[in-house]
């Protein structure tokens, strides 16, 4: 019973860390690949084409 609760707790912390990493990852990709602001678009232009993001 004790072990079960703790396994659950450790699973939950793993899930928390994973959700945090997922959120950060998506935020970085939104900036490097998707945002259409001109400054960002121009700076990221070559990389977006090279990585096949839909660019403009």
Residues binding other proteins (CB under 8 A): 2-3, 6-7, 9-11, 13-22, 24-29, 31-34, 36, 43-56
What burial class does residue 40 get, using C-beta atoms within 10 Å of its C-beta: 0-12 exposed, 13-18 middle, 19+ buried? middle
Q: What SS3 class is residue 52?
A: coil
To the nearest whole angstrom, how small is the minimum distance from the Cβ of residue 54 to other proteins?
4
Distance CA 14, CA 19 (A): 9
């Amino acid at each position: 019973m004790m072990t079960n609760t703790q396994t659950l707790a450790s699973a939950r912390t793993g899930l928390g860390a994973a959700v945090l990493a997922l959120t950060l990852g998506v935020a970085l990709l939104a900036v490097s690949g998707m945002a259409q602001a001109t400054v960002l678009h121009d700076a990221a232009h070559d990389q977006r084409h090279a990585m096949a993001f839909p660019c403009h």
